[in-house]
Amino acid sequence: MALNLRQKQTECIIRMLNLNQPVNPTGTANEEVYKILIYDKFCQSILSPVIHVKDLRKHGVTLYFLIDKDRKPINDVPAVYFVQPNQSNIQRIVADASRSLYDSFYLNFSSSIPRPLLEDLASGALNSDSIHRISKIHDQYLEFVTLEDNLFSLSQKSTYLQLNDPSAGDKEIEDIIERVVSGLFCVLATLAVVPIIRCPRGGPAEMVASALDQKLRDHLLSKNNLFSEGGSFASSFQRPILCIFDRNFELSAAIQHDFRYHPLVHDILGLKLNRLTVPGEKGGMKSYELDSSDPFWTANGSLEFPEVAVEIETQLNTYKKDVDEVNRRTGGNAGAEFDGTDLIGNTKHLMNAVNSLPELTERKQVIDKHTNIATVLLGQIKERSLDAYVKKENDMMDRGGIDRNELLAVLKGKGTKMDKLRFAITYIISSETINPAEAEAVEAALVESEVDASAFQYVKKIKSLNVSLASANPASRNNIVDWAEKLYGQSISAVTAGVKNLLSSDRQLALTRTVEALMEGKPNPEIDSYLVFDPRAPKSSSGSSSSHLKGPFKEAIVFMIGGGNYVEYGSLQDLARHQQPVKHVIYGTTEILTGMEFVEQLSQLGNKMGLGNSVATSSATH
């Protein structure tokens, strides 16, 4: 059975809303209890993409509040709390219980509550004589946001910036790695699978893989563990492979412009938690939900924008034909003599027409929604020449460079400051060697357009470091590595994936090709050096490759540390669909970022290293 993260997470949330009672096949509890839901900001973002207001009512939730809002007492009603296990939430729960705000408290924490906090909760409830109000405490292991069936985010902000910050100490790096591991553990616990873990050597990917392996091993030692998989003898093809990468593995995918529907809507219009607000056709703002309940969004997300426009037109014409057909059938035959059989036939047509109305109305709403979104997108594409950016960036990545005049023409042409900055960074990544005169001309063009060039300079610095690293002799290479690791934290392996030999002619991302090779499990020089961790195997075999761990795998979970995007998600889904037999790939990341949001993190890193010009970073966004 294919792993469906969204379905599994929704089932856990529904069980939680029903006071952790078993739920019957209709998805409701056997005994309906009216209750109140209290959540914090983070857990609101977990609930938002998977549970709608009507679903809350269906499960007996009559009122819902943020935990930090002032609330009035409500008698004889249980309250379901869904919050992160932190000090401020524990204090608030104790305060609520001591004021007897609700009849009983069902406490659900998004991840495992640490022992000291549990003790604080117990002593606080005892001291305020409210311990009898706390009915149940559950660790839910739900600390991740599921946006689609195969897409999740840990919603951990600025991970790339924190991991690559030159001033970050060992303790800070360890804390970030621990948070990422905790989030990934929640995902695996929800899916109830213990995967085979693969990752490149070095950097955050290995740190996370190693720590996750240890956490799973420790957990599997306990009798009542969260993994219902059949023992340590479960054959390898039943277990998924978890491929962990660091954002530096392929920097270009986080920065380039893309012309497919999903990435465009996210990057240009700012899709957040499956919600979007755009100007309406008749003025004012329109808010839309874009998720698996929208058939057009699901079916056409990977199409290029012009194909999406054609598809909208096609669906509109089909809809008009269907409406005309209903009108024709229910209109009767003009001038025909009336008889009883016609009445029966006509009544049948009328009933069919009435039954088809809701479906037709729904189709029209979907068409209108995407017509409006496409119109707004088209305005942005024309205004900023986004199609030209996409074409030239792809050409650069394919050819490993661009004509100097063409390069400078783009930087002096249409587009926002951020578009130009992203283009300039893509140029640096795509060049096999950096031409100093050309790089200076690019920088001058950026400054002329009042763009903060610190992100450009940061990537240029790392790129030149990699070049010198590749050409240095072993003795001096060690010195460069020592110096670089002091200066750049984990980013020593950065930007090498931009070189064109990592991109095949059909524009497949390096990430996608690597995941394909890892799932196939055949000998391949690109992945032979990758580490292998099997949390179910004896410790001695960990980190080395072993024949039964090599696949082939039907299912994969791909995780990107430091920010992911819809470009990589779409590419991996295409890979899964086109495999024979069809494979299944879940894509997750520390946070979903637009190109602009990621470049802003690069800018901050540049500023921390004293790079860039005096123009404020914020100006790059305009």
| pLDDT 10s digits, 5-45 | 999 999 999 999 998 887 777 766 666 789 999 999 999 99
Query: Model confidence over 131-155: pLDDT tens digits?
Result: 999 999 999 999 999 999 999 999 9
Residue 611's pLDDT band (cuts 50, 70, 90): confident
**CA atoms of 225 and 422, how far apart (whole Å):** 46
Question: What pLDDT score does 30 carry?
Answer: 63
Residue 127's pLDDT band (cuts 50, 70, 90): very high
Query: Model confidence over 384-399: pLDDT tens digits?
Result: 999 999 999 998 888 8
Kindly tell me if the per-residue pLDDT of 84 is higher than 50: yes
Pinpoint the alpha helices (H) of 331-385.
Answer: 340-384
Kindly tell me if the per-residue pLDDT of 614 is higher than 80: no
| Six token digits for residue 562 | 């430091």
Question: What pLDDT score does 124 carry?
Answer: 94
Q: With contact defined as beta carbons under 8 Å apart, do 302 and 570 qualify?
A: yes
Question: What pLDDT score does 331 carry?
Answer: 65
What is the average pLDDT across 120-132? Answer: 92
pTM of the model: 0.88
Cα separations in angstroms, 438 against 106, 405, 435, 441, 458 = 63, 10, 5, 5, 16
Q: ∠ CA(393), CA(585), CA(49), 5° rounding?
A: 85
Question: What pLDDT score does 433 carry?
Answer: 81
Query: Model confidence over 468-500: pLDDT tens digits?
Result: 555 544 444 444 444 444 444 433 343 333 333
More confident residue, 500 or 260: 260
Strand 196-199 vs strand 531-533: parallel, antiparallel, or unpaired?
antiparallel
Question: What pLDDT score does 400 carry?
Answer: 79
Q: How many CB atoms lie within 10 A of CB 297?
A: 22
What is the average pLDDT across 338-353? Answer: 58
Residue 617's pLDDT band (cuts 50, 70, 90): very low
Most confident of the following: 166-170, 234-238, 246-250, 549-553:
246-250
**First vs last C-alpha separation in the chain:** 47
DSSP-based three-state secondary structure for 567: helix
Question: What pLDDT score does 346 carry?
Answer: 63
Out of 243-247, 310-314, 327-331, 497-501, pick the least confident. Answer: 497-501
E strand segments, 1-118: 35-39, 61-66, 78-83, 104-109
Question: What pLDDT score does 353 carry?
Answer: 67
Most confident of the following: 417-431, 474-488, 500-514:
417-431
Question: What pLDDT score does 506 carry?
Answer: 47
